[in-house]
């Protein structure tokens, strides 16, 4: 299983965002530097609802460090939905899903085709 690396500080921030947006979903874009996810851009002009998060990727600035996405699921289901998989296939890269109860153990990483990846937290 391939591994995705994320800074502990970023993961803790993402978990906090998921808790703050609950019961709605939130979504953002992940910036990677030297093979490690280090920052998140919250989706501009997005809609964050109980069953979905919508944002227009055309609103993103050109940024070669954006290598993935993150969104929360307000249910304990960490698996990508059909809509998630459709988005993954269009955006590419790595995708994190943070499921309720928004703990480190409820975070899953996927490739754009929905294949699960191992998540490694680094300091």
What is the model's pTM?
Answer: 0.87
pLDDT of residue 49: 44
User: How many residues comprise the chain?
Assistant: 123
Residue 25 predicted with pLDDT over 80: yes
**Domain range for 30:** 3-44+64-122
- Are 21 and 13 spatial neighbours (Cβ–Cβ below 8 Å)? no
Is 58 contained in some domain? no
Is 34 contained in some domain? yes
How far is the C-alpha of 121 from the C-alpha of 47, rounded, in Å?
A: 29
The tally of domains found in the chain comes to 1
Beta strand 27-33 with 94-99 is unpaired
Structure tokens at 40: 């998140």
Which bin fits 32, alpha (ψ -120 to 50), beta or left (φ > 0)?
Answer: beta
* CA–CA distances in Å: residue 110 to residues 20, 44, 56, 58, 78: 23, 23, 21, 23, 10
CATH of the domain at 13: 3.40.140.10
Is 50 contained in some domain? no
Is 84 contained in some domain? yes
Is 78 contained in some domain? yes
Exposure string (b/e) for 89-117, b if CB count within 10 Å is 16 or more? eebeebbbbbbbebeeebbbbbbbeeeeb
Model confidence at 112, in pLDDT bands (50, 70, 90)? Answer: very high
Is 51 contained in some domain? no
Task: Give first-to-last CA distance, the chain, whole Å.
Answer: 21
Model confidence at 94, in pLDDT bands (50, 70, 90)? Answer: very high
Residue 14 dihedral angles phi and psi, to the nearest 5°: -65, -40
Is 52 contained in some domain? no
Give per-residue pLDDT as tens, 35-74.
999 999 886 545 454 555 455 656 666 778 889 999 999 9
Model confidence at 115, in pLDDT bands (50, 70, 90)? Answer: very high
């Amino acid at each position: 299983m391939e591994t995705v690396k994320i800074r502990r500080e970023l993961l803790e921030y993402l978990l906090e965002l998921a808790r703050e947006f609950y019961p709605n979903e939130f979504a953002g874009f992940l910036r990677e530097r030297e093979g490690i996810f280090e920052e998140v851009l919250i989706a501009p002009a997005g809609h964050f609802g109980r069953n979905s998060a919508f944002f227009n990727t055309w609103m993103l600035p050109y940024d070669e460090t954006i290598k993935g996405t993150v969104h929360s699921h307000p249910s304990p289901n960490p698996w990508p939905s059909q809509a998630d998989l459709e988005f993954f296939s269009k955006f590419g890269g790595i995708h994190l899903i943070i499921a309720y109860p928004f703990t480190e153990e409820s975070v899953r990483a996927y490739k754009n085709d929905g294949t699960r990846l191992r998540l490694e937290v680094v300091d």
